[in-house]
Amino acid sequence: MHSLWNDAEAGRYRGDLALRVYTSRLLGRDRSLVLHGGGNTSVKLRQANLFGEEEDVLWVKGSGWDLETIEEAGFAPVRLAAARRLAELPALGDPEMVEQLAIHTLRAGAPPPSVEAILHAILPHRFVDHTHADAVVTVTDTADAAERVGEIYGDAVIVVPYVMPGFALARAVFELLHAAGGAQPGDSIQGLVLLKHGIFSFGDTARQSYERMIHLVGLAEDYLRGRGAWVLDPASAAGAAGAQPAGGAETRLAEPAAAAIAGLRRELSAAAGRPLIVTSRRDPRSLRFVRRPDLAELALQGPATPDHVLRTRRLPLLGRGAAAIDAPPVPAATAVAADTTAGTNWTAAVAAYVEAYRRYFAEHAAAAPEPKTMLDPAPRIVLDPELGLLAAGRTAAEAAIAAEIYQHTMDVIERADRLGGYRVLPAARLFEVEYWDLEQAKLRRAGEPPPLAGEVALVTGAASGIGKACVEALLARGAAVVGLDVEPRIADLFPRPAALGLRCDVTVEDEVAGALAAAVATFGGLDLLILNAGIFPASRDIAALGLDEWRRVMAVNLDANLILMRRCHPLLRLAPRGGRVAVIGSKNVPAPGPGVAAYSASKAALQQLARVAALEWGGDGIRVNIVHPNAVFDTALWTEERIADRAAAYGLDVAAYRRSNVLGVEVRSRDVAEAAVELCGPRFSRTTGAQVPVDGGNDRVI
């Protein structure tokens, strides 16, 4: 563990709040310290109010901000005296604590102060840092944690027995500080170690507090290293190979494995009552962990820190070994089979997990002081010896976060095991966090999810025109999207967790198979397929049409779509809400024009293929519909030269040709995309085999 402080970088940050931003980002850069919104930091400043009066203000990280990217706007300014006085109360409910902190926040529009704001306030130092460092958590997740912390740090830290975050923790630290005579600036105490939780450091400057954190965590790493409990194996570092989704050439999913993952996703979604995204990790480090003979003994204890329960649930589902939280092993007959009917093979395992989760909820909700609303009982982590580590979430971001958290959990588990045994909190204490008042309040405030939330779409020809517009429309509706295109720029065109751009020649079946394997590894399956990729050759009369050109057009516009439909069918039939296909056809199907025989014939044949698919696939719950656009000029198919050429073929000037329809409007890519995506949405759940023109009205078609 080394300090990342850089004088040149720090020099660009003026003032204590700006330096607080800088060192917060330094902490956020290191995934072994904080993950995805975890941890918090603060600084105490004296500043003038509107009346010119000096007052002390606690600037503390706001909820919803990530330390890696935090800005000054991400800190909430809270009256320090008010926050400190709250700690003097013998008891305070967390919802009321949040309300009181909001009352004493000095800037309208500031984020809600961290739930640990009061703890930050009562520490006398100007700068305070808090992380969930892997090394420290490893040490505290052992049976003799307090003794080990004392061995590492001596009197440099105050050890805090586990207390639930929020007011209870702040009050416990308040009492400890008073009993110890306080932790004053300049004395030997550099931090707090919270058992089963994390570590605090503090100091008079941003650099001192940050580098004390690095020093304290480094001592824990050195302790583990000296006992052979730090380096696990060459592939074990979380955030290295394990942080990358499967799907590369060396980790490409075989078709049976892809079908098994899609089947698992269907069962998890049924248990959750909504579609879920499932991402997988099959790197050597993850596979080594899930193949441990003592996996159940270790993994079925619980999460590394209680706050992880909000992302990963209390316990994982173990595939082909132990079915659920406290269920007996799954009979061999219900194990995941290596065939395309694997969807049914997860049913017993997921059902056993759900039943065990319901028992867990009933037992602990009965002892809660107020009524609790049960979360959906679907597991969020699945560990399978062949499929690896799988993580589920309502969105692609949620699934990816759960996966990364569990990758770090694997390291903590194995390191703690080498120290003599991994030991976490009992179920009752974890339930308190999973069903925290503040989390229950979020459930009550939650609105309806977007219409395609949790669903996975694949779009061909996604780098431009109609395909790109389809990707944007799908993302806007909450879907995760895989975009395929022959253009390499597709890989970086949609930089967000819910989008995966892959360079793929859809006429090459092996490339299509690889793209689908990557899609399943990243998102868990396939719900929607939009067949858009196509080519529009130069105008040529039939008398001059060569066979090579004819075959080239057919290969892209027809044959490639057959490959895609055949390859996607096993995944579409496992879609939680039923598969959907939207085919981008053409006005040239019902009303062809001169000079485009190859294009018109390929689109007509594609229409017939889609109509037959609608008939054949209805029994699998798959809907197939067709959109027929015309004269969509903001696509890669059209150049100014080609537009002029086609306009001349109809005896029109370019301006007239662009609006040569009954409504006299120009049709854009977005218009076509909206129609195609809506046909895949819930409003058309009873529609299949339909053909919808998006052409402004064509007199020949009408």
The domain spans of the chain are: 7-226, 241-445, 456-637+667-694
pLDDT score for 184:
63
Residue of 321 and 609 predicted with greater confidence: 609
pLDDT score for 646:
80
Q: Decide: 278 and 525 in contact? Cβ < 8 Å.
A: yes
Q: Each residue of 533-544: pLDDT tens digit?
A: 999 888 899 999
Separation of alpha carbons 695 and 702, rounded Å: 11
- CATH fold of 241-445: L-fuculose-1-phosphate Aldolase (3.40.225)
Residue 160 has pLDDT above 70, yes or no: yes
pLDDT score for 639:
83
Residue 701: count other Cβ atoms within 10 Å of its Cβ. 15
Exposed/middle/buried for residue 691 (C-beta within 10 Å: 0-12, 13-18, 19+): middle
Q: Each residue of 280-316: pLDDT tens digit?
A: 999 999 999 999 999 999 999 999 999 999 999 999 9
> What mean pLDDT is predicted for residues 365-375?
92
The CATH-assigned architecture of domain 7-226 is 3-Layer(aba) Sandwich (3.40)
pLDDT score for 338:
31
Give the position of tokens 């040569």: 660
pLDDT band at residue 440 under the 50/70/90 scheme: confident
Q: Residues 22, 599, 650, 657: which is the catalytic one?
A: 599
pLDDT score for 319:
85
Assign domain 456-637+667-694 to its CATH superfamily.
NAD(P)-binding Rossmann-like Domain (3.40.50.720)
Considering Cα of 258, then 261, then 266, then 267, what sign does the dihedral take? positive
> What mean pLDDT is predicted for residues 64-90?
95
Residue 339 has pLDDT above 80, yes or no: no
Using DSSP's 3-state secondary structure scheme, residue 636 falls into coil
- pTM check: above 0.75: yes
C-alpha 365: how far from chain center:
29
pLDDT score for 38:
87
pLDDT band at residue 186 under the 50/70/90 scheme: low
- 550 CB-near residues (< 8 Å, 6+ apart): 598
Residue 445 has pLDDT above 60, yes or no: yes
Residue 619 has pLDDT above 70, yes or no: yes
Angle at 691 between CA 689 and CA 697, to 5 degrees: 170
pLDDT band at residue 327 under the 50/70/90 scheme: very low
**Catalytic site residue 353?**
no
Q: Each residue of 595-610: pLDDT tens digit?
A: 999 999 999 999 999 9
Residue 246 has pLDDT above 60, yes or no: no
Q: Decide: 117 and 60 in contact? Cβ < 8 Å.
A: yes
C-alpha 609: how far from chain center:
36
Residue 333 has pLDDT above 50, yes or no: no
- Which amino acid is it at 641? E
Residue of 222 and 251 predicted with greater confidence: 222
Separation of alpha carbons 404 and 37, rounded Å: 13
Q: Do 241-445 and 456-637+667-694 agree at the fold level?
A: no
**In whole numbers, what is the pLDDT of the chain averaged over residues?**
91
pLDDT band at residue 242 under the 50/70/90 scheme: very low
Q: How far apart are the first and last CA of the chain?
A: 72
